[in-house]
Structures are given as structure tokens and as C-alpha cells.
Amino acid sequence: MKVEQIAIFLENKSGRLADITSILAGHGINIRAMSLADTADFGILRIIVNDTDNAKQILRDNGFTVGTTEVLVVEVQDKPGGLAEVLQIIKDGDLNIEYMYAFTQKSGDTGLIIFRFDEIDDAVNVLMKAGVRLLSGEEVYSI
Amino acid sequence: MIFDEEFETMPRLALESLQLHRLQKQIANVYLKVPYYAAKMDAAGVHPSDIKTLGDVNRLPFTTKEDLRKNYPFGLFTVPMEEVVRIHASSGTTGQPTVVGYTKADIKMWAGLMARSLSAAGAHPNDIVHNAYGYGLFTGGLGAHYGAEELGATVIPISGGNTKKQIQIMRDFGSSVLLCTPSYALNMAEVMEDQGVDLKELKLRVGIFGAEPWSEAMRIEIEKKLGIKAIDIYGLSEVMGPGVAIECAEEQKGLHIMEDHFLAEIVDPDSFEPLPLGEKGELVFTTLTKEAFPVIRYRTKDFSRLITDECSCGRSFYRMEKVTGRSDDMMIIRGVNVFPSQIEEVLIGIDGVEPHYMIIVDRKGTLDTLEVQVEVSDNLFSDEIKNLEATTMLIQKEIKERLGVSCKASLVEPRTIQRSEGKAQRVIDKRKF
């Protein structure tokens, strides 16, 4: 149920994002989802790719600081109130979201939201009990 | 092991009488041979015959780098050039290089003092000495080289640079003693880590590091990463080169000064008045036996204090406290004196922070700004902004608390701070005075 996400440290210098994407492209790695968090001085790029271990190694070899984190990928109905419904479950379950970002599938009537929780195991329990569908790593990597 | 038992353990009384005898001879000779020194002594109203006790040394005028520059290149030599067998010079990054010369006897004396130093650090004649100090005009390379030969060890004159090859040779040749700058030692440790070198493949046992100030925290880091005992060595080309003072392996607490050849004083860095024994100030050296290029009361700009307590190693030489800063390196940030080594001490003390840093001083309007750049290691990194910001805030808080100056800590990508293969460049001062 848990999906591995790669986080990469970036200084706020022009071209760093382009460097990362071209390095990954050069090794045939496909980015499934991404988000960039930034401050005045630095940024953290978070990505989910089709081959986490390989991508991590390649980025390390190219001198980047890389970490991995487990996140949950939640399916929500692609209609008004779809996200609100899930967030209500999270609120009722007293779960704390560190951050979240969204991406869409190629087709279908559902959207995907990536959540990073403090307590991922509690989150899995709460969401599963409420009947929310969580995508497995395999599913996400092969989207 | 004590290499030169007779002198290194000489009772203080005998040692001081030897020092006085040598000092009187040296001053008389310098007065006779070097018009520049004679003129300075005349102007200060002091004659060689006035030196009746060791304490009288403080009647003599100081020598500074400025004096050396004015006499560039050979003006302060006391012997004709045919007796000079070697020249060394400082890098001259802050102006004209300072040039020093050695007679055959000087080279022999220096080799002897370096052999003493190696021995004090725990090196033996059957060691393989990996000498990664730069060979050339810099005194480090050749100074250590002759000393290791004098000791009877096997020297690998590898000089600085080409770190991967250094490591290969270290492994293949079984280097057991490493000599280089402390910052280069850390650089090597990092490259070893990258290459997955197992310390068990190496025979390294002792490292003798000098040529730049380094903190106790850095010692712990080097000892841990290289699995060795890290010993501090002190020297400067104007006085001789490496081997003026050395830590003993027994205590690693203060560096024994080769007092039979050098007379050390500590003076107030502002008034230049001599300070009572044990107080901290600027180190001043007078050479007692050098022939080609003696110096009288040379102001080193290094801060230290003398330790007069007996040492468990048996040497009777006083020790100088590990140099933590030079007046050259001292930054005055909004009126507060700050040494790079103090910042280093704070950084190494914070979990996950690597000892690769850069200090950037600038001035915005009338206000000095201090920025400390630190590389983000895997240990430090987090996918959450708040955790990274907590690290920078912690660095800022610790520096503020310990040094009394506020700074901005910035995180930079790994390996973006330049690695040292010699003396590390830690500070960029962009202020225009």
C-alpha cells in the first residue's frame, strides 16, 4: 500500500531541474508524479518514478543528495467534493498531513493524490477502513 | 619514542642556560652580519652585549613579515650565497613571497627536528611515510621528507593532489604514516568512502597534520574516518618549516616546542608587551641556531599560550597550545572577533553536518553579514522543508550562542564546496575596506 518517493535537495540555481530530468531521461527513467517545494534558498524535488532504486543510484552518482520516503497514493473521484470526502476521513481519523500533491491518470474518472503522513501505518488503517482505495507501488510505477 | 633524548629531556635549568648561550651568540652574529638588523637594534637602543638573561630578549625589536618583504629576496641572509644550499618561499597570496634560505647545517638541523617530530608522533624507522605535503617552494614537502629519511623510515614523496592515486598507493605500498594538511586528510577520507575503501585494507596508523589551524572537533572527525591517531605539527617557513613544535602521541595535548633551537614568547597582540607565562597571545619566535636565515623575535600572528606543566612523555620542552587561529584569519564581524576554526568547531558538533563549509563575509550598507554554507549530506537531508530549516536554525543559534555573532546558515548541494589538496580556503571576504 505504501509507495516509495524520491526526494532530492536542490539549491536555488538555474538549470538544476533541467539537469535532473535530463539525467533521468538519459537512463530511460520515467517520472510518474512530481512536486517541488521551495524556500528562498533551496528546494526539495519529490518524484515518483518507474524504477526507484535505479533512479536513486543514478542521481547519487551525479552528486545529488537523495532520500527516499514512503507515501500513500490515494484514489479520489474526479468530481466536485471528491477530495473533500477523503480529507474529511483524514480529519476524523486525526491524521496529520505533512504535505500532499496531485496528479492525474491518463484516462478514467479518478484522480490521484499523494499524501505524506507523520504516521503512515495509522493512515493506512484509517483510509482502508473507510473504504478509500490506495494504489500499490506496482500500480503507480506502471501507470 | 624520544629521538634525541639528550636534548628533548634536558633539565630546564641546563636547557635555559643552553638557550641563553645560543641566543647571545646568535644576536651578536646577526648584529655583525645584517645591517638591517643592526640598524633596528641601534634605533631601539639595544646592543648585543645587553642580552644578559633570557628575559632580556624582550628588549630586542620585533621582526615582521613586512621586514622580510622589505629585504626581498635575500637581504636578511647572514651568510654569503655560496653557503646557502636551499631556498624556500611562502606562497605570497597576500603580497610578495617571503624568501628563506638554509645552509647545509640548517638542513641537517631541520631534518633532525623533523625526525624528532615524527618520532614523538609515534612513527618508527620501519614505517612507510606517505608524504602528501606539497613539494616545492613550500617547506612542508621537503621538510617532512628529510626528517623521515633522517628517522630511517621509507618515504613516499607523493606530494599533494591526485587523490585517487594517493589512495591506491597507500593501499599498495602499505603507507603507515600520513603527512598532509588536515583539510586534505578529510578530503582523502571522503574519497575513500566514495570508493568503498575498507580501512582494514590500509596500514595507516598515524597522521601528522599541520600548515593550517584545525579544531579538536576536526581531530576527532579525522581519527574516526581514517582510523588513525591524528597529531598536530607546527612550523612556519620564516622560522624553519614544519617541526618547530609537535604534539606527543602520549598526550596529544599541546605541542612541544624544540626549545633548544627556538626561543618562544607570547606577547599581547595589540600592545606587543610580553605576557606572563601561561597567558594567551601572539606567538613570537627567535631562532637560536639557524645560520643562513635567523629571525629575531619574529611575530607569527598565530595565537597560542605556553603550557609549562610536566608532560607524561618525558620531554622537558614547554608546550604551546594547539593554534586555534591566526590574526590573519581573524574576521571582525560587526565588531566581534571570529576565527574560522570556531565556526568549524560548532559545525562538526552538530549531528549530520559534514566538515565541508565555506564562510562568506560581506557588507550590506554599513552592516557586516556572515554566511555559513554547509553541504547537505544524506544524513542531514529530509524530504520536509521544516526539518531542513530546523537544521539551519540550529546552526545559526549555536553560532550566535558560542561566538556572539548572528549569521545566516545556507544549505548547498553536496560536493559543491571546493575540496582542499593543500591549505583549505574557508573564507571569502567580499567586503571592501
Beta carbons of B381 and A7 less than 8 Å apart: yes
**What confidence score (pLDDT) does residue B94 get?**
55
Give the residue on B whose Cα is nearest the Cα of A43. Answer: B385
- CA B52/CA B43 separation, integer angstroms: 19
Within 10 angstroms of residue A111's Cβ, the number of other Cβ atoms is 17
Among A5, A7, A65, select the one facing B414 at the smallest CB separation: A65
Q: Which residues of B75-113 are buried (b: 16+ CB within 10 A; e: fewer)?
A: ebbbbeeebbebbbbbeeeeeebbbbbbbeebbebbbbb
Reported as a pLDDT band with limits 50, 70 and 90, residue A108 is: confident
Closest by CA to B395, choosing from B376, B418, B415, B417, is B376
Residue matched to cell numbers 608532560:
B311
Within 10 angstroms of residue A136's Cβ, the number of other Cβ atoms is 12
**What confidence score (pLDDT) does residue B219 get?**
94
Please say whether the dihedral angle defined by the alpha carbons of residues B227, B229, B232 and B237, taken in this order, is positive or negative. Answer: negative
Read off the C-alpha cell for B304.
Answer: 597560542
**What confidence score (pLDDT) does residue A107 get?**
65
**What confidence score (pLDDT) does residue B312 get?**
97
Beta carbons of B415 and A64 less than 8 Å apart: no
Beta carbons of A65 and B412 less than 8 Å apart: no
Half-sphere exposure of A142 (CA within 13 A, CB side): 5
Instruction: Indicate if A72-133 has the same CATH topology as A2-69.
Output: no
Residue to mutate among A3, A6, A38, A42, with most B CBs inside 10 A, is A42
User: What residues contact B69, with CB distance under 8 A and at least 6 apart?
Assistant: B95, B96, B98
| CA-based nearest distance B410→chain A, Å | 7
Beta carbons of A42 and B384 less than 8 Å apart: no
Q: Is residue A127 within 8 Å of residue A89, measured between CB atoms?
A: yes
Residue type, B189: A
State which residues of chain B have pLDDT below 50. none
Beta carbons of A65 and B389 less than 8 Å apart: no
Per domain, the residue ranges of chain B are 1-328, 331-429
Q: What CATH number labels A2-69?
A: 3.30.2130.10
Beta carbons of A44 and B383 less than 8 Å apart: yes
Residue numbers in B near A46 (CB within 8 A): 383
**What confidence score (pLDDT) does residue B269 get?**
87
Beta carbons of B414 and A7 less than 8 Å apart: no
What 3-state DSSP class applies to B394?
Answer: helix
Closest by CA to B410, choosing from B393, B423, B398, B424, is B393
Q: Give me chain A's average pLDDT, please.
A: 92
Residue to mutate among A9, A48, A59, with most B CBs inside 10 A, is A9
Rg (CA), chain B: 22
Q: B2 exposed, middle or buried (CB, 10 Å; 0-12, 13-18, 19+)?
A: middle
**What confidence score (pLDDT) does residue A62 get?**
92
Give the residue on B whose Cα is nearest the Cα of A47. Answer: B383
Which helix (H) or strand (E) segment holds residue A36: the answer is: strand A31-38
Beta carbons of A65 and B377 less than 8 Å apart: yes
- CA B257/CA B261 separation, integer angstroms: 9
ipTM, two decimals: 0.85
Q: Is residue B281 within 8 Å of residue B266, measured between CB atoms?
A: yes
Closest by CA to B121, choosing from B224, B242, B217, B250, is B250
User: What residues contact A91, with CB distance under 8 A and at least 6 apart?
Assistant: none
Give the residue on A whose Cα is nearest the Cα of B389. Answer: A39
**What confidence score (pLDDT) does residue B351 get?**
85
Give the residue on B whose Cα is nearest the Cα of A16. Answer: B413
Residue to mutate among B190, B384, B395, B418, with most A CBs inside 10 A, is B384
Q: Is the backbone peptide bond immediately before B274 cis, with ω within 30 degrees of 0?
A: no
Domain B1-328 has CATH 3.40.50.12780: yes
Beta carbons of A63 and B414 less than 8 Å apart: yes
Give the residue on B whose Cα is nearest the Cα of A38. Answer: B385
Q: Give tens-digit pLDDT for A116-142.
A: 999 999 999 999 999 999 999 888 887
**What confidence score (pLDDT) does residue A1 get?**
83
With a cut of 90, say whether residue A71 has pLDDT above it: yes
**What confidence score (pLDDT) does residue B397 get?**
95
Per domain, the residue ranges of chain A are 2-69, 72-133
Within B320-384, residue ranges assigned H as helices are 340-348
Q: Is residue B239 within 8 Å of residue B295, measured between CB atoms?
A: yes
Closest by CA to A122, choosing from A84, A97, A93, is A93
Among B378, B411, B415, select the one facing A42 at the smallest CB separation: B411
Beta carbons of B378 and A65 less than 8 Å apart: yes
Beta carbons of B384 and A98 less than 8 Å apart: yes
Q: Is residue B107 within 8 Å of residue B86, measured between CB atoms?
A: yes
- CA B281/CA B278 separation, integer angstroms: 9
**What confidence score (pLDDT) does residue B113 get?**
98
Q: Note the CATH architecture for domain B331-429.
A: 2-Layer Sandwich (3.30)
Q: What CATH number labels A72-133?
A: 3.30.70.260
What 3-state DSSP class applies to B10?
Answer: coil
Task: Give the per-residue SS3 of B69-121.
Answer: HHCCCCCCCCCCHHHEEEEEECCCCCCCCCEEEEEHHHHHHHHHHHHHHHHHH
Beta carbons of B383 and A10 less than 8 Å apart: no
Q: What is the percent of chain B with per-residue pLDDT over 90, rounded to a whole number?
A: 77
Beta carbons of A39 and B385 less than 8 Å apart: yes
Among A9, A39, A69, select the one facing B389 at the smallest CB separation: A39
| CA-based nearest distance A94→chain B, Å | 20
Q: Is residue B57 within 8 Å of residue B263, measured between CB atoms?
A: yes
| CA-based nearest distance A124→chain B, Å | 20
User: What residues contact A84, with CB distance under 8 A and at least 6 apart?
Assistant: none
CB pairs under 8 A between A and B: 51
Read off the C-alpha cell for A112.
Answer: 490521484
| CA-based nearest distance B209→chain A, Å | 28
According to the per-residue pLDDT averaged within each range, which of A13-17, A49-53, B260-264 is highest?
B260-264
Residue type, A50: N
